[in-house]
Structures are given as C-alpha cells and as structure tokens.
Amino acid sequence: MDQQALQAALYDIEWYANWWPPIGACVLALTLLLFTWGLLYWRAKRWRRLALAQWRHLASGDLRHPNADTVAQLNALLKQVACTCYPQELQVRALSGDAWIAWLDAHVKIPLFADTLAGRLLRNQYHAQANVEPQELKALLRATRLWIKQQT
C-alpha cells in the first residue's frame, strides 16, 4: 500500500461526540442513587416511626380518665428515644426528676417540660398521687410528641 491509501484508510477520531453516556444509563444511575439514599434515610428514621406509633397508641387511650400508668409509659417512651438518639450519653438511663427534665429541655430548641404542666407531671410521677388531671396528660402527650419529632 502506498502512502495515500494508508491516509485514506485512516479516519478522524471524534472524541467530543460520544463522551457522555447514553441518557437511559444516566436516568437509571440517578434512580438507583435516589432509591438507595431514600432507603437508607427511611431505615435510619425507623426508630422515630416506631416511637410515634407507640405514642399514638398511648394517646388513643381514654384521656378523660388518665392514670399514672400512662405517665410512666410516656416517660419510658421518652427514655427509650433518648437512649436511641444519644447512646453515648450513658447517664440518661439514671436521670429522674428535675435532672431528667433539664436534660430533655437541653436537647430541643424550645424548652417543652420546664415550668409546664407536662414537666410537673413528669417530675411528680413517682409520688403517691391517685389522680392525674386530663389537661396535664394532654400537655404531656403534646410535649412528648414534639420532643420525639425534634430529635435527629
């Protein structure tokens, strides 16, 4: 072959024409990425869904005739969420009374328990009181729900 035949057999490489992957591959990769992120986020927030489901179960009880058992269950729910969200803070399990309320309020933007009906109910839950007022229980339910929702 002579020089001209070799040059005619060569062709220019168009490196700029097909450097981007096909659009279908890009859409598939983006879909898989978003699905994976959504699944990880959904699994990471599973504790919140479970805690709110337990809260709904407690809130669905008879609020006209509240009892100290409901207050103890709400306190246990708060402790469970606190231990899940802050596993490095080992003292959470032992807190009670004013120290527990201060810890709860320290972990939200707006204090929910200090100087409120909910705080008074949590503070006095171990005292021998026969009746729990419905408005106190409603305040505690509201504060508990807001505290759970504000945890990351």
* pLDDT at 5 exceeding the cut of 80: no
> Domain residues of the chain, as ranges?
3-40, 46-150
DSSP H or E stretch at residue 32: helix 23-44
Please give the Cα distance from 144 to 142 (Å, whole number).
Answer: 6
The residue-averaged pLDDT of 17-28 equals 75
Above 70 in pLDDT, residue 96? yes
At 88 the pLDDT is 87
Q: Residues near 93 by Cβ (< 8 Å), separated by ≥ 6?
A: 79, 83
CA 81 – CA 135 distance, rounded (Å): 24
Tell me the mean pLDDT in the region 118-123. Answer: 79
Enumerate helices (H) and strands (E) in the chain, giving the number of each. 7, 0
DSSP state of 52: H
Q: What is the mean pLDDT of the chain?
A: 83
Nearest to 20 by CA among 29, 32, 12: 29
Q: pTM score, two decimals?
A: 0.73
Closest C-alpha among 45, 49, 70 to residue 60: 70
